[in-house]
Amino acid sequence: MEFVYIAVALVIIGLVVFWFIRSRDTDAPTAPAATAAPTATRSLRDRLAKTRGALSDRLGGVLSGGKLDDEFWSDIEDSLVAADVGVAAASSAVAAVRKRGVEDPADVRGLLADELVSLLGGEDRGLAKTASPSVLLVVGVNGSGKTTTIAKLAQQLSTPESPVLLGAADTFRAAAADQLKTWANRIGVDIVTGQSGADPASVAYDSYHAAKARGAGIVMVDTAGRLHSKSNLMDELGKVARVLRREAGEIDEVLLVLDGTTGQNAIDQAKAFTDVVGVSGIVLTKLDGTARGGVAIAVEQDLGIPVKYIGVGEGVEDLIPFQPEAFVDALLGT
């Protein structure tokens, strides 16, 4: 009988241990897809297939009409607007092509591409990194992919000579700090965090001085995602920017992460964030999952802020520098 009691006790202990281990695994933050299957061999055309498919189908139908009358050009413009290129950009590009006196509809697609690239030309799309450490403040609304974008960019930018330090100034969502910490551990960079509910500006302050003390080349500060219409939260974000500017002298880059699937709504977000923190560059995410990828052109035309990176997939290599010629080619299939 004593043997039976011992056996039952061992079984119970084993079940308790199993439950404890299982619960710890369940509660652990989910690591972002840093080890996703390589997609570097996929072309940008493949990654923007949804926008290209929708736009090319519409353009193809118009171009096959063969008659370059007012209705033809109006339909071309409507096709661009439907892809969220924006009314101003679409009108400008179509007007410029018409002025060339084109006679063959087969030439229109290539000429449109030339005009759209011209609208995007002349912008400096490199990241400003003038100080040591250089300060990159990253802002955006909830769900835009901001924290994941920071991690991908950190992995690309960090080198032994110029390591990146991450500042987790999103102190309102514990999961956000955990996610960024998981990324930091995976890619081998330092991170500074704060207590839950702490003043985000104090975490930004600590992050900058930690980067300076540890010899980091870049400090990238994450901030809590917030709706651009919430004035109190935007004021708090303004405080973070002021503290960083006071300590560093200037912020090298204020990057706004926008969800490309929101289309024209992204422009209203960008205007609000620019008013508060002075956005210097745009990162457009999730462009592989939308037919509204033309918003990259609309954002630049309406705001005069360069798109510096686009997100076209889950992998680290799917956050790529924005190149107008390749982007327009991928949209129009030229």
Q: Report pLDDT digits (tens) over 305-317.
A: 999 999 998 888 8
DSSP letters of 94-109?
A: HHHHHHTT---GGGHH
Buried-state track 136-158, b at ≥16 Cβ within 10 A, e below 16: bbbbbbeebbbbbbbbbbbbbbb
pLDDT one-digit tens code per residue, 4-61: 444 444 544 454 434 433 333 333 334 444 433 334 446 888 888 888 888 888 888 8
Question: What whole-number distance in Å separates Cα of residue 267 and Cα of residue 141?
Answer: 12
Question: What whole-number distance in Å separates Cα of residue 289 and Cα of residue 47?
Answer: 8
The whole-model pTM stands at 0.83
Residue 135: burial class (beta carbons within 10 Å; 0-12, 13-18, 19+): buried
Q: Are the C-beta atoms of residues 147 and 327 closer than 8 Å to each other?
A: no
Q: Which residues contact 94 (CB under 8 A, 6 or more apart)?
A: 73, 76, 77, 80, 112
Q: Give the alpha-carbon dihedral of 89, 281, 271, 243, to 10 degrees.
A: -170
Q: Which two tokens stand for residue 298?
A: 């609309």
Specify the DSSP class assigned to residue 128.
P
Which pLDDT does position 316 carry in this prediction? 85
Lowest mean pLDDT among 22-31, 80-89, 205-214, 267-276: 22-31
Question: What whole-number distance in Å separates Cα of residue 151 and Cα of residue 33?
Answer: 11
pLDDT one-digit tens code per residue, 95-151: 999 999 888 888 999 999 999 999 998 788 999 998 889 999 999 988 888 989 999
User: Under DSSP, is residue 142 helix (H, G, I), strand (E, B) or coil?
Assistant: coil
Question: What whole-number distance in Å separates Cα of residue 308 and Cα of residue 149?
Answer: 12
